[in-house]
Amino acid sequence: ILEKVKEVVTPSNGAALDGKPKSDPASIEADVLQNLEFTIGAPSNKIPNGLDDKTVYRGVAASVREFLIAAFNRTQDYWRDQDPKFVYYLSAEFLMGRSLLNAVQNLELTGPLSEAIKKLGYDLEDLVDAEQNAALGNGGLGRLAACFIDSMATLDLPGWGYGIRYKYGMFKQAIDAKGYQQELPDIWLTNGNPWEIARPEITYKIGFYGTVDNFKWSPAEQVIAKAYDNPIPGYKTSTVGNLRLWEALPLCEFDLDAFNEGKYDKAVEERRKAEDISAVLYPNDATEYGKELRLKQQFFFVSASIQDVLARFKEKHAGDWALLPEKAIFQMNDTHPTIAVAELMRLLIDQEGLDWDTAWGITQKTLAFTNHTVMPEALEKWPVKVLGKLLPRHLEIIDKIDDIWKDSLKEKILAQIESEPKAAPAKAAKAAAKDGEEEEAEEDEEDPVETALAKYGIITENPWEKDAKVINMAYLAVVGSKAVNGVAAIHSEIIKDTIFKDFYEVMPEKFQNKTNGVTPRRWLAWCNPKLAALITETLGTDAWINETTLLAGLRQYADDKAFQAKWRTVKHAAKEKLSHKIKSLMGVDLPTDPLYDVQIKRIHEYKRQYLNILSLIYRYHQIKTASPEEKAEMVPRVSIFGGKAASAYYAAKKIVRLINRVGAVVNSDPDVGDLLKIVFVPDYNVDLAEVLIPGAELSQHISTAGTEASGTSNMKFAMNGCLIIGTMDGANIEIAQETGKENMFVFGMDAEDVPVWREGKRKEWKDYDPRFVKALDLIKSGTFGETEYFKDLVESISVMNDSNNDWFLVAPDFTDYMRAQDEVDKLYADQDEWTRRSILYTAGSGFFSSDRTIDQYAKEIWDVVPCKQP
Ligand code: F58
């Protein structure tokens, strides 16, 4: 019987029995055929060449999955046996994109697999397009998490990602005929997900609501978290890491009694309520219900993940809790997982019986926190009312953490005040004397100790609601963590000066910088194969794919005319691919001679797509009014936009519409011809980025200085030899350092001047650039239609009053932006110089590999070392 079973269930390449699948083309071909027939159940009369690409993709994915699982099992067995310290990357988002090509490339199977697929009558490239995008993330933060787990595996670092297996990921964006953004659900799991392994045996109970009696929490509602593992292959290593995502399920699947009473809704109510938790990526939080659901999601995945880690720890080290910080570190990706501080405390105290101090000591060594933004709306503050209702025991714990934390500061603060020169001791004495008295109206008359303590409060007054308190989750994370980091050098400085100023002053040692990075596998080697091949040929090795600092070796060829010509040829091929992609998606014909200028990122006022489109409106006006001679001098340009606006973000949605309206007018104007094309590519996502980035020649990273924490697409563009026009913001600054500031089109106010401007000059400034005024006039006069609709958008940057204040400095930065754009045009006319710079961008991009970032996290925060199978 066993022999028979082996015959039937063993993949023909012998994966399951020998532990290592056979990777020659013939074995892979046989295995794909077997998977098509037995795993997918494709009609046998159509195998091999009567099938559609989607079906063949599923058969191929099933085969690649065998390779992944074989190596995954070996890695995880080895790690279990070696018991190294692990990092657990807690993130509400992992924006993975597609997996097939990445897995095949990382596993070094591309050659034999392509050959096998060809023999079957198909093409690997076509199959790649049949895969759904795994879009379990909003933007940069989620994609960063995906790059990080790729690097962790490549560096053999014992580590797992932990998150939520959303049923619906990031909404799909459609642009309707009038230019409006429409949101459609992202139903990505319909055809199954071959890259995951369901673990019905790995489940945890997660409680909500209920009461606390003498520190004992009795939840009123419970759901099950079920694990799904997603193997993450490293490159040039046998290590395959893991991304474990949780699905929410009901304790009781179906209430048969209710059903028998004819109450179908009630019979499935519990299931529906539970499934809501892992249903949608960041549900609308405009309503009370939405808010609570979001907190539920956060607690759900955090609790399941910590319970999971503690369960494994207990298997090995039962009772030896002091060892936990030597075996595990949780990195909290922004504030979304920060309920972990209270949950780890609860599990250690209530479940494992540790005393408060021991638990707190362990917690503070086992958690670390990354901040990704200084935008106040994105720094989560949960109303005490909401959190206390959903997680009453956690509120108690947070309350106590807050008290102990403030108490611990009292002495330090008093000492600080006393050590301040002259006036300070008097103040302190006055404060001491006043103890217990009512506060004076005047601020400098207040008790300085109390005043100082108030600003450290984790639980504070709600600025938007009287007599209501909120929990500042970022503060909770800072207090509960061993390290806090920003994501680019400037950002890490800004957080020390602004949002965490007071915390930095009392514990400077906690604050670090970890400049973001991106995986050079997906974002150069795999998405731009021709450029990658040229780099490998030039450097004489492909070792740069893991050692990106080797890219610096390209510098010596930057002036070499023959090399420049080769570089231009491969860059042009990527442009052609992009042009084809846009043709197939939108039916628009784009010429490939003009400069390809790309701005792709979430649509946000601070990212200033508005500035870009205004300059294009002016460019359009110039074309319309130019003489034939002047036209002949102009540098033709294709401007490509892409990005999603949050569904409730009114201004961002108007900007999307404006771009689309301007595009419609410009592209159909016969006076313009090929001098300017403006396209908005709908549904910007990871797989589009993989075509847009290699094809771009200029990319725009033009946020108001001090607002973009880092940016990561800027790094991807730089790696692919795309020049940057940008402000001195986020990682642009470091990219300028690495590639030479003189090679970047830098413009605009810098981060120090922006607050000064906002405070002062803005009020009396009237010095609008005539070109800016002209561009706005064209919108106002109806050139692009919908004057009424665009009215408030126009006024938001041109009429100063209480609601309009051009907070992101579109008007004052416009003139310098136009100067930088003129420089762009001028330089593009000099193709040798342009190409030289392009080469220098790639050569200077080595620092921006996420391998470097992760290596720094591992050494400077996590204390996790590589653990590679011999
Ligand atoms: C981004 N944040 C930063 N947040 O804006 C960007 O500068 C940085 O490079 C990147 O993180 C990685 O560090 C970001 O993407 C989000 O997507 C939020 C997720 C939760 C809802 C609100 C947006």
ipTM confidence score: 0.99
Distance 712 CA to ligand 1 centre (A): 10
Q: Looking at the domain assignment, is residue 762 inside a domain? A: yes
pTM: 0.95
Distance 552 CA to ligand 1 centre (A): 29
Nearest 5°: the CA angle 283, 286, 291 is 60
Ligand 1 pocket mutation, candidates 148, 369, 373, 608, criterion most atoms within 8 A of CB: 373
Distance 521 CA to ligand 1 centre (A): 22
**Backbone φ/ψ region at 462: left (φ over 0), alpha (ψ -120 to 50), beta:** beta
Q: Looking at the domain assignment, is residue 218 inside a domain? A: no
* pLDDT exceeds cutoff 60 at 132: yes
Q: What is the pLDDT of residues 309-360, one digit of tens each?
A: 999 999 999 989 999 999 999 999 999 999 999 999 999 999 999 999 999 9
pLDDT of amino acid 498: 96
Distance 181 CA to ligand 1 centre (A): 21
Nearest ligand 1 atom to alpha carbon 143 = 12
Q: What are phi and psi of 744, to 5 degrees?
A: -110, 150
Nearest CA, atom 20, ligand 1: 138
Query: Which one of 56, 72, 88 terminates a domain?
Result: 72
Q: Looking at the domain assignment, is residue 418 inside a domain? A: no
* pLDDT exceeds cutoff 70 at 174: yes
CA-to-CA dists, residue 239 to 69, 231, 232, 650, angstroms: 11, 10, 9, 46
Nearest ligand 1 atom to alpha carbon 711 = 9
Query: What confidence tier does 167 reach under pLDDT thresholds 50, 70, 90?
Result: very high
Distance 373 CA to ligand 1 centre (A): 7
Average pLDDT over residues 378-406: 96
Nearest ligand 1 atom to alpha carbon 516 = 13
pLDDT of amino acid 423: 52
Average pLDDT over residues 866-870: 96
* pLDDT exceeds cutoff 70 at 80: yes
Nearest CA, atom 12, ligand 1: 141
Nearest ligand 1 atom to alpha carbon 731 = 9
Q: How far is Cα 793 from Cα 650, in angstroms, rounded to an integer?
A: 10
The residues that are catalytic are 372, 601-602, 607, 712, 716
Place of tokens 């000059």: 761
Q: How far is Cα 425 from Cα 94, in angstroms, rounded to an integer?
A: 52
* pLDDT exceeds cutoff 70 at 426: no
Q: How far is Cα 833 from Cα 839, in angstroms, rounded to an integer?
A: 10
Q: Looking at the domain assignment, is residue 152 inside a domain? A: no
Q: What is the pLDDT of residues 602-635, one digit of tens each?
A: 999 999 999 999 999 999 999 999 999 999 999 9
pLDDT of amino acid 437: 46
* Residue of 366, 364, 281 lying closest to 331 (CA atoms): 366
Count of other CB atoms within 10 angstroms of residue 326: 14
* Residue of 512, 516, 532 lying closest to 524 (CA atoms): 532
Query: What confidence tier does 452 reach under pLDDT thresholds 50, 70, 90?
Result: confident
* pLDDT exceeds cutoff 70 at 11: no
What's the number of domains the chain is made of? Answer: 2
% residues pLDDT > 90 (the chain): 86
pLDDT of amino acid 375: 86
What's the start-to-end Cα distance of the chain, in Å?
Answer: 36
Nearest ligand 1 atom to alpha carbon 140 = 15
pLDDT of amino acid 576: 98
Q: Looking at the domain assignment, is residue 769 inside a domain? A: yes
Q: How far is Cα 240 from Cα 231, in angstroms, rounded to an integer?
A: 6
**β-strand pairing of 469-472 with 381-383:** antiparallel
Q: What are the residues facing 725 on neighbouring strands?
A: 700, 745
pLDDT of amino acid 802: 79
Query: Which one of 72, 101, 123 terminates a domain?
Result: 72
Average pLDDT over residues 735-740: 98
Q: What are phi and psi of 135, to 5 degrees?
A: -105, 60
Q: Looking at the domain assignment, is residue 275 inside a domain? A: no
Distance 377 CA to ligand 1 centre (A): 12
Average pLDDT over residues 821-843: 98
* pLDDT exceeds cutoff 80 at 428: no
Ligand 1 pocket mutation, candidates 372, 649, 729, 808, criterion most atoms within 8 A of CB: 372
pLDDT of amino acid 464: 77
Nearest ligand 1 atom to alpha carbon 138 = 17
Nearest CA, atom 22, ligand 1: 378
Average pLDDT over residues 740-745: 98
Q: Looking at the domain assignment, is residue 816 inside a domain? A: yes
Q: Looking at residue 696, which CATH number applies to its domain?
A: 3.40.50.2000
Distance 518 CA to ligand 1 centre (A): 14
Query: What confidence tier does 593 reach under pLDDT thresholds 50, 70, 90?
Result: very high
* pLDDT exceeds cutoff 60 at 779: yes
Distance 78 CA to ligand 1 centre (A): 35
* Pairwise pLDDT comparison (118 vs 14), residue with the higher score: 118
Residues with CB under 6 A from ligand 1: 138-141, 144, 282, 372-373, 378, 487, 516, 708-712, 730
Distance 140 CA to ligand 1 centre (A): 5
| CB-CB contact of 225 with 304 (8 Å) | yes
Work out the mean pLDDT of the chain and round it to a whole number.
Answer: 94
Q: Alpha carbon 584 to chain centroid distance?
A: 27
Average pLDDT over residues 302-309: 98
Q: How far is Cα 348 from Cα 393, in angstroms, rounded to an integer?
A: 13
Q: What is the pLDDT of residues 197-232, one digit of tens each?
A: 999 999 999 999 999 999 999 999 999 999 999 999
Distance 333 CA to ligand 1 centre (A): 10
Nearest ligand 1 atom to alpha carbon 93 = 19
Q: How far is Cα 732 from Cα 822, in angstroms, rounded to an integer?
A: 20
Distance 405 CA to ligand 1 centre (A): 29
Nearest ligand 1 atom to alpha carbon 137 = 17
Nearest CA, atom 6, ligand 1: 711
pLDDT of amino acid 367: 99
Nearest ligand 1 atom to alpha carbon 282 = 21
Q: Looking at the domain assignment, is residue 569 inside a domain? A: no
CA-to-CA dists, residue 498 to 148, 374, 451, 479, 489, angstroms: 27, 8, 18, 16, 15
Tokens found for residue 217: 């929490």
CA-to-CA dists, residue 572 to 466, 592, 698, 739, 814, angstroms: 60, 8, 13, 22, 31
Beta-sheet strands, E only, within 314-472: 328-333, 367-370, 381-383, 459-461, 469-472
Nearest CA, atom 19, ligand 1: 138
Count Cα neighbours of 870 within 13 Å in the Cβ-side half-sphere. 1
* pLDDT exceeds cutoff 90 at 801: no
Nearest CA, atom 9, ligand 1: 711
* Residue of 161, 741, 725, 711 lying closest to 486 (CA atoms): 711
Quote the domain boundaries for residue 45: 2-72
Nearest CA, atom 4, ligand 1: 141
Count of other CB atoms within 10 angstroms of residue 89: 27
Q: What is the pLDDT of residues 256-294, one digit of tens each?
A: 898 899 989 988 999 999 999 999 998 666 666 778 999
* pLDDT exceeds cutoff 80 at 477: yes
Ligand 1 pocket mutation, candidates 141, 523, 647, criterion most atoms within 8 A of CB: 141
pLDDT of amino acid 49: 87
Helix, strand, or coil here: 467? Answer: coil
Nearest CA, atom 2, ligand 1: 141
Distance 551 CA to ligand 1 centre (A): 28
Nearest ligand 1 atom to alpha carbon 712 = 9
* pLDDT exceeds cutoff 50 at 131: yes
% residues pLDDT > 70 (the chain): 94
| CB-CB contact of 365 with 325 (8 Å) | yes
* Residue of 109, 86, 117, 40 lying closest to 310 (CA atoms): 86
Q: What is the pLDDT of residues 544-579, one digit of tens each?
A: 999 999 999 999 999 999 999 999 999 999 999 999
pLDDT of amino acid 417: 83
**β-strand pairing of 483-486 with 637-642:** unpaired
Q: How far is Cα 348 from Cα 310, in angstroms, rounded to an integer?
A: 9
Q: Which strands sit side by side in the sheet containing 367-370, from one edge to the other?
A: 197-208, 221-233, 240-250, 159-164, 86-90, 328-333, 367-370, 483-486, 511-513
Distance 177 CA to ligand 1 centre (A): 30
